[in-house]
Amino acid sequence: MIPYDNLSKVNEPYSLIFQSRFNKFLEKGWYILGDEVKKFQEDFARYNQMNYCVGVANGLDALILAIWALHLPKGSEIIVPSNTYIASIISIIHAGHKPVLVEPDITTYNIDPTKIEAAITPKTKAIMVVHLYGKCCEMDPILEIADKHGFHIIEDCAQSHGAKYKGRMAGTFGIMSGFSFYPSKSLGALGDAGAVVTNDPVLCEELKMIRNYGSHGKYYNEVVGYNSRLDEVQALFLEIKLPYLDKINEHKRKLASMYLEQLKDDFILPVVHPDYFDVYHIFNIRHPRRDALKEYLLKLNIGTEIHYPVAPNKQKAMAHLLAKSSFPIAEEIHATTLSLPCSSCHSESDIQMVIEALNAF
Ligand SMILES: *Cc1c(COP(=O)(O)O)cnc(C)c1O
């Protein structure tokens, strides 16, 4: 069996160090906002070439807190891609604003910059870019639009730890960027975890207050905040894994290059372009008979996933908001996409077997 992913195997290389550091953590008895959170925040900010990082409870909260920190007028509109994972859209709704969906480019699966201007209204205040599957958005035209209209850019980097566009790291383009360390992400915790990175010291302080009941010091509350703290124990695990993130990305890029070189033309492959350093959080292909292909691979004991089976505008949860809208490109992607094994738990010979199975379909 070649599973789509195997998280216990993904974390196996860190097992001994996790255990020895966990024992020290246990002895110390400090569980919330201590040295580990502080250390991880510093390390992760440095990794991203940014000044500040604020650890939060998960990736969704990272985006919600980032939007809150902007204090946009009530009912502001935020532009977001129509094929993103639902969390990006939900964060805008929970932050009290209106998501305005814009179609992706059918080759990059990221927001199509040429379609953004048509979605702008007097209420538009920000663009949330999502670097889906580990590929950066085409940032130059997006930055130009944001500049021209005075919009904020918030980056959803939940799938793009270490990805680059024209040599610049994902997470460095926006006013704030939200990361998720959900266990299956390229940098994954052993539970829920997230972070916001920013270069703005005022926003950093604001985010630190909001995640901790609106408080800087114990029992003095300056704003009506929230509880979304990064757990000390998750920060410890993340701090241990972070130095290996580039190696994890290199491994995934190697596996991806095998697919890219060897899969036959029947499959629509991710585009490769020298401006983009892709980290393949997800390696997806597209095929008109996607469901039959998934079934066929499963019979050969090869696990795959679909990211995502239902387009956001077709989700029951979005019926009140988006039901009447039509997003044919997002729907086409959702109907044909299939994610192949491409994890740090896979070896090159695993991928060779998947390639041979696919080419025989
Ligand atoms: C995983 C993910 C999130 C949310 O992260 P959680 O930590 O699960 O809350 C947000 N956006 C995208 C694109 C994601 O893939």
CATH number, domain containing residue 308: 3.90.1150.10
Q: Tell me, yes or no, whether 213 and 354 share the same domain.
A: no
State the sign of the Cα–Cα–Cα–Cα dihedral 341, 342, 343, 344: positive
Query: Which atom of ligand 1 is found nearest the CA of 88?
Result: 11
Burial (0-12, 13-18, 19+ Cβ within 10 Å), 3 = middle
Ligand 1 atom 12: residue of nearest CA = 158
In a domain? residue 323: yes
Q: Tell me, yes or no, whether 54 and 160 share the same domain.
A: yes
In a domain? residue 177: yes
Kindly report, residue by residue over 200-210, the tens digit of the pLDDT: 999 999 999 99
Ligand 1 atom 5: residue of nearest CA = 59
Ligand 1 atom 14: residue of nearest CA = 158
CA of 59 to the centre of ligand 1 (A): 5
> How high is the mean pLDDT of the chain?
96
Q: Tell me, yes or no, whether 156 and 257 share the same domain.
A: no
User: So what's the pLDDT on residue 216?
Assistant: 81
Query: Could you tell me the pTM of the whole model?
Result: 0.97
Q: Considering 242, 271, 295, which residue would you say is the last residue of a domain?
A: 242
Q: Tell me, yes or no, whether 212 and 272 share the same domain.
A: no
Q: Considering 242, 273, 301, which residue would you say is the last residue of a domain?
A: 242
CA of 218 to the centre of ligand 1 (A): 30
Q: Is the pLDDT of residue 134 over 80?
A: yes
User: So what's the pLDDT on residue 319?
Assistant: 86
Assign 168 to helix, strand or coil.
Answer: strand
Section 265-277 average pLDDT: 97
CA of 354 to the centre of ligand 1 (A): 27
Section 156-173 average pLDDT: 98
Q: Tell me, yes or no, whether 280 and 165 share the same domain.
A: no
Q: Tell me, yes or no, whether 316 and 188 share the same domain.
A: no
User: So what's the pLDDT on residue 100?
Assistant: 96
Section 19-43 average pLDDT: 97
User: So what's the pLDDT on residue 321?
Assistant: 83
> Which of 221, 143, 178 is CA-nearest to residue 69?
178
Assign 34 to helix, strand or coil.
Answer: coil
Token pair listed for 89: 């859209």
Among 45-49, 309-313, 343-347, 356-360, which stretch is predicted with the lowest mean pLDDT?
309-313
User: So what's the pLDDT on residue 325?
Assistant: 82
Q: Are 246 and 264 in contact (CB under 8 A)?
A: no
Q: With b meaning 16 or more CB within 10 Å and e meaning fewer, what string describes 48-78?
A: bebebbbbbbbbbbbbbbbbbbbebeeebbb
Ligand 1 atom 1: residue of nearest CA = 158
Q: Considering 204, 225, 242, which residue would you say is the last residue of a domain?
A: 242
State the sign of the Cα–Cα–Cα–Cα dihedral 205, 209, 214, 218: negative
User: So what's the pLDDT on residue 224?
Assistant: 87
Please, which residues have CB within 8 angstroms of residue 332's CB and are 6 or more apart in sequence? 106
> Which of 330, 337, 334 is CA-nearest to residue 111?
330
Q: Tell me, yes or no, whether 236 and 261 share the same domain.
A: no
Q: Tell me, yes or no, whether 159 and 194 share the same domain.
A: yes
Secondary element (H or E) of residue 156 = strand 152-156
**How many structural domains are present in the chain?**
2
Q: Tell me, yes or no, whether 210 and 189 share the same domain.
A: yes
Residue 216 and residue 222: Cα distance in Å, rounded? 8
Q: Tell me, yes or no, whether 144 and 25 share the same domain.
A: yes
CA of 21 to the centre of ligand 1 (A): 27
CA of 60 to the centre of ligand 1 (A): 6
Q: Are 64 and 88 in contact (CB under 8 A)?
A: no
User: So what's the pLDDT on residue 130?
Assistant: 98
> Which of 233, 230, 214 is CA-nearest to residue 222?
214
Kindly report, residue by residue over 216-256, the tens digit of the pLDDT: 877 788 888 999 999 999 999 999 999 999 999 999 999 99
**Side chain identity at residue 264, one-letter code:** K
Q: Tell me, yes or no, whether 177 and 53 share the same domain.
A: yes
Tell me the HSE value of 170 on the side-chain side, using a 13 A CA sphere: 28
Pocket of ligand 1, beta carbon within 6 A: 58-60, 84-85, 87-88, 130, 156, 158-159, 180, 182, 192, 194
CATH number, domain containing residue 83: 3.40.640.10
Residue 347 domain boundaries: 244-359
Section 158-186 average pLDDT: 98
Q: Tell me, yes or no, whether 232 and 276 share the same domain.
A: no
In a domain? residue 1: no
